[in-house]
């Protein structure tokens, strides 16, 4: 054994998290055991998985089990596993630091809500191992990595530092010993050295874990005669038996009627590291050419990292009840990345690798089947408005990515789409079908406006005429909307039409004609003025014209039908793409008094510099009204002040 003991400091975030655990106010401390068992089970999955390539990792014939050992006198609880173990450096990296994205935000949230913090929060972030410090004031960990001779002993009281030293250990795997805090009924801390306490927790949280969770159970027995009566004068004897506490039954193999909601929810929590109940459960048994079972879940809350590029997602893949891998992305497209669960195949080979999965045609087919099951479930969920709204609010933004990624299911996805609308209050959603049902006579297009937020869109000048004439306009406010709206052009034969693009011809044929004529007349009156304004704004504007969409504002910016929206431009720039400068069209309200005034200035002096300032002001206003950014805010402010001086 080595006599060098290293002392290290926890990484800042790890330290903060530990501090929260030590001083935790969580009522349910029992969950620490589920975390440790889940880690043990993960580690054994890994050992099995790695032994496909390195058969020597398993050749010592050890049974993969979890063994719980408690000592009431010493007040210790030890969880032994035969998992993959950790090397010296792994212990440092995995236990001493937290490498997950979003940890900072998570800790901040926990710290701010200390009083109300619930175990959900811990679970959501899977800070599992540290949960030990809710019940222990010192934790020891001895671990030997498969393939290594020596083991590492780690120890910490959770306060700033930990120690490490090299030790020897007979078996590959990890043993974690908790030096338990004193029990305290008020604090909700049970006596975790008691058999029945441990048995209950295992049953509640870890029953379906696929490895035996074992414990030595001690009983007193008295010798009995053949009739079963105690033998006279015999002393009670202590008998110790090794008992398996969990049933290990794969819940996805059971029929619905043979499972309880609690059981299913616990299973969900186990595989998802989420502490909320799932929103929906999807079960299916597919038979025929390809055989597989699935039990999938739609969570009720989006994970913090749903839009992080490196976030893990995917289902767990099993082959004939044997765990193959976590986060199997090959069975779920990105836009369904929030779906959790298990797919258990009868056909794939046990040593199927990621590479094979990516090319395998069977896997592709299975993937299609899985997607269909999820979409079917969502169609059903739609009948429950409250649940479906929850689903949409949590996952809608990710789900919409499917509109441009999953061509095959586009029609279904459009049916499932929920939108905000000018006819609905904020918070209420509508479907495309309802929009089409409400369309006015003769209306051929689905009007929408995309923008940064409901507020920005709702108050946009582009909507004025639509609102006044009673046309419904859909609001799209997720960044992804601009992308799918470029590719999806119609629904039930009705084209999507942005109210910020092209001309806005509203009303009956007759009304349109009338409007057109009156516009032509005015165009003649203001024609030269508009030309002049275009020259003045040439750098940013490709046309200045009279508008049919404004009723109260003086000006707005629109685009030609095929032009890129400003949101799209921004998105592309964020992705590091070169975007050629897009010139917009400045539309002026022909009935606005400002136009007459400008005409007056123009008539008096065709090359007036004042006119140029006003053109700039109108352009700036229109930009601000749609939530855009001014090119030169300083100059705009100066022009406004000058104008005020003149007016006051
Ligand atoms: P998570 O399980 O969500 O990754 P934990 O805090 O529970 O977070 O564990 C951190 C990491 O430490 C695990 O990902 C794993 O790599 C390692 N680890 C924890 N417990 C064990 C164990 N019993 N055997 C091997 N590795 C473990
Ligand atoms: Mg864990």
Is residue 205's pLDDT more than 70?
A: yes
Annotation: CATH topology of 526-647: 1.20.120
Contact 416, 380 (CB under 8 A): no
Contact 28, 188 (CB under 8 A): yes
Question: What's the mean pLDDT in 356-369?
Answer: 88
Question: What's the mean pLDDT in 572-593?
Answer: 85
| 117-126 per-position pLDDT tens digit | 555 555 445 5
Spatial CB neighbours of 539, under 8 Å, sequence gap ≥ 6:
none
The structure tokens listed for 215 are 């414990």
Closest protein CA for atom 17 of ligand 1: 94
Q: How far is the CA of 363 from the centre of ligand 1 (A)?
A: 29
| CA 134 – CA 214 distance, rounded (Å) | 23
Q: How far is the CA of 31 from the centre of ligand 2 (A)?
A: 11
pLDDT at position 229 is: 86
List the beta bridge partners of residue 491. Answer: 494
Contact 29, 188 (CB under 8 A): yes
Question: What's the mean pLDDT in 264-290?
Answer: 90
What is the CA angle 260-266-269, rounded to 5? 145
- 47 falls in which pLDDT band (50, 70, 90)? very high
Least confident of 4-8, 451-455, 506-510: 506-510
| 129-162 per-position pLDDT tens digit | 988 998 999 999 999 999 999 999 999 999 989 9
Spatial CB neighbours of 112, under 8 Å, sequence gap ≥ 6:
none
| CA 550 – CA 646 distance, rounded (Å) | 27
pLDDT at position 351 is: 64
Spatial CB neighbours of 285, under 8 Å, sequence gap ≥ 6:
293
| 567-582 per-position pLDDT tens digit | 777 777 777 788 777 8
pLDDT at position 127 is: 60
| CA 159 – CA 16 distance, rounded (Å) | 10
The structure tokens listed for 329 are 């992305």
Question: What's the mean pLDDT in 539-545?
Answer: 92
Closest protein CA for atom 15 of ligand 1: 94
| 3-class SS letters over 535-575 | HHCCCCEEEEEECCCCCCCCEEEEECCCCCCHHHHHHHHHC
**β-strand pairing of 292-298 with 322-328:** unpaired
Closest protein CA for atom 9 of ligand 1: 129
Question: What's the mean pLDDT in 483-503?
Answer: 90
Question: What's the mean pLDDT in 595-624?
Answer: 90
Q: Nearest CA to 251 among 186, 166, 344? A: 344
The size of the chain, in residues, is: 648
pLDDT at position 102 is: 64
Is residue 286's pLDDT more than 70?
A: yes
Question: What's the mean pLDDT in 619-632?
Answer: 88
CATH 3.40.50.720 is right for the domain spanning 251-388: no
CATH annotation of 6-222+235-244? 3.30.565.10
Question: What's the mean pLDDT in 57-80?
Answer: 92
| 16-27 per-position pLDDT tens digit | 888 878 876 566
pLDDT at position 617 is: 93
Site residues for ligand 1, CB cut-off 6 Å: 35, 39-40, 43, 81, 83-86, 94-95, 126-129, 174
- 192 falls in which pLDDT band (50, 70, 90)? very high
Mutate to test the pocket of ligand 1, among 127, 129, 158, 311 (most ligand atoms within 8 A of CB): 129
pLDDT at position 22 is: 82
Mutate to test the pocket of ligand 1, among 94, 101, 274, 275 (most ligand atoms within 8 A of CB): 94
Q: Which residues of 81-119 are buried (b: 16+ CB within 10 A; e: fewer)?
A: bbbbbbbbeebbeebbebebeebeebbeebeeeeeebeb
Question: What's the mean pLDDT in 351-379?
Answer: 88
Q: Which helix (H) or strand (E) holds 334?
A: none
Is residue 414's pLDDT more than 70?
A: yes
| CA 648 – CA 643 distance, rounded (Å) | 9
Contact 491, 414 (CB under 8 A): yes
Q: How far is the CA of 217 from the centre of ligand 2 (A)?
A: 27
The crossing angle, in degrees rounded to 10, of helices 361-381 and 385-399 is: 140
Is residue 325's pLDDT more than 60?
A: yes
Closest protein CA for atom 18 of ligand 1: 39
Ligand nearest to the CA of residue 78, numbered in listed order: 1
| CA 391 – CA 280 distance, rounded (Å) | 9
Ligand nearest to the CA of residue 211, numbered in listed order: 1
Mutate to test the pocket of ligand 1, among 38, 42, 144 (most ligand atoms within 8 A of CB): 42
Q: Nearest CA to 240 among 218, 221, 215, 214? A: 218
Q: Nearest CA to 537 among 628, 632, 443? A: 632
pLDDT at position 108 is: 76
Q: What is the residue extent of each domain of the chain?
A: 6-222+235-244, 251-388, 526-647
pTM: 0.68
Q: How far is the CA of 94 from the centre of ligand 1 (A)?
A: 7
Closest protein CA for atom 14 of ligand 1: 94
Least confident of 108-112, 174-178, 298-302: 108-112
- 350 falls in which pLDDT band (50, 70, 90)? low
| 391-412 per-position pLDDT tens digit | 999 999 999 999 999 999 999 9
Average pLDDT value over all residues in the chain: 88
pLDDT at position 99 is: 64
Contact 506, 465 (CB under 8 A): yes
The structure tokens listed for 376 are 């079917």
Determine phi and psi for 289, rounding to 5 degrees.
-55, -40
From residue 7, how far is each of 13, 95, 152, 174, 233 by CA, in Å? 18, 14, 13, 20, 58
């Amino acid at each position: 054994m080595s006599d060098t003991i290293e002392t290290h400091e926890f990484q800042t975030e790890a330290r903060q998290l530990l501090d929260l655990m030590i001083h935790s106010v969580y009522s349910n401390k029992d969950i620490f055991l589920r975390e440790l068992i889940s880690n043990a089970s993960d580690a054994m999955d890994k050992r099995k998985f790695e032994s496909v390539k390195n058969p020597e990792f398993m050749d010592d014939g050890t049974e993969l089990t979890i063994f719980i050992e408690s000592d009431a006198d010493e007040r210790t609880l030890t969880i032994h596993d035969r998992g993959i173990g950790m090397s010296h450096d792994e212990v440092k990296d995995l236990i001493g630091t937290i490498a997950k994205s979003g940890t900072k935000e998570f800790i901040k949230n926990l710290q701010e809500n200390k009083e109300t913090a619930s175990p959900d929060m811990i679970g959501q972030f899977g800070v599992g191992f540290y949960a030990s410090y809710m019940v222990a004031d010192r934790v020891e960990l001895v671990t030997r990595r498969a393939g290594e001779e020596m083991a590492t002993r780690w120890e910490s009281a959770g306060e700033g530092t930990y120690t490490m030293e090299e030790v020897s250990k007979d078996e590959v795997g990890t043993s974690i010993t908790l030096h338990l805090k004193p029990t305290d009924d008020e604090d909700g801390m049970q006596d975790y050295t008691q058999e029945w306490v441990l048995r209950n927790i295992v049953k509640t949280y870890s029953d379906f874990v696929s490895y035996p969770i074992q414990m030595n159970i001690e009983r007193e027995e008295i010798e009995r005669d053949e009739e079963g009566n105690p033998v006279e004068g015999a002393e009670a004897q202590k008998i110790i038996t090794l008992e398996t506490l969990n049933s290990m039954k794969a819940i996805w193999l059971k029929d619905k009627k043979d499972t309880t909601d609690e059981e299913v929810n616990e299973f969900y929590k186990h595989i998802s590291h989420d502490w909320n109940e799932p929103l929906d459960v999807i079960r299916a048994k597919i038979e025929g050419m390809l055989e597989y079972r699935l039990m999938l879940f739609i969570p009720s809350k989006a994970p913090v990292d749903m839009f992080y590029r490196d976030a893990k997602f995917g289902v767990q893949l099993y082959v004939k009840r044997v765990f193959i891998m976590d986060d199997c992305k090959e069975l779920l497209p990105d836009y369904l990345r929030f779906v959790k669960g298990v797919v258990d195949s009868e056909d794939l080979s046990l040593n199927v690798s990621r590479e094979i999965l990516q090319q395998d045609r069977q896997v592709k087919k299975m993937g299609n089947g899985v997607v269909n099951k999820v979409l079917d479930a969502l169609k059903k969920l739609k009948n429950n408005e409250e649940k479906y709204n929850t689903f949409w609010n949590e996952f809608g933004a990710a789900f919409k990515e499917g509109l441009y990624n999953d061509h095959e299911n586009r029609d279904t996805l459009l049916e499932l789409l929920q939108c905000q609308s000018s006819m609905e209050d904020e918070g209420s959603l509508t479907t495309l079908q309802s929009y089409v049902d409400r369309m006015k006579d003769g209306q051929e297009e689905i009007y929408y406006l995309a923008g940064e937020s409901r507020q920005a869109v709702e108050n946009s000048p582009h909507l004025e005429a639509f609102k006044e004439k009673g046309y419904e306009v859909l609001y799209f406010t997720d960044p992804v909307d601009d992308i799918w709206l470029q590719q999806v052009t119609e629904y039930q034969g009705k084209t999507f039409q942005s109210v910020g693009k092209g001309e806005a011809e509203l009303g009956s044929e007759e009304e349109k004609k009338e409007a057109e004529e009156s516009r032509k007349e005015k165009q003649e009156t203001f024609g030269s003025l508009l030309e002049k304004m275009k020259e003045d704004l040439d750098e940013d504007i490709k046309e200045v014209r009279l508008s049919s969409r404004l009723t109260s504002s003086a000006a707005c910016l629109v685009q030609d039908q095929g032009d890129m929206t400003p949101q799209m431009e921004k998105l592309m720039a964020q992705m590091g793409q070169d975007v050629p400068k897009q010139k917009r069209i400045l539309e002026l309200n022909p009935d606005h008094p400002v136009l007459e005034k400008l005409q007056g200035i123009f008539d008096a002096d065709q090359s007036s510099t004042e006119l140029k300032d006003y053109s700039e002001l109108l352009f700036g206003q229109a930009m601000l009204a749609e939530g855009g950014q001014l090119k030169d805010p300083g100059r705009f402010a100066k022009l406004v002040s000058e104008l005020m001086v003149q007016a006051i």
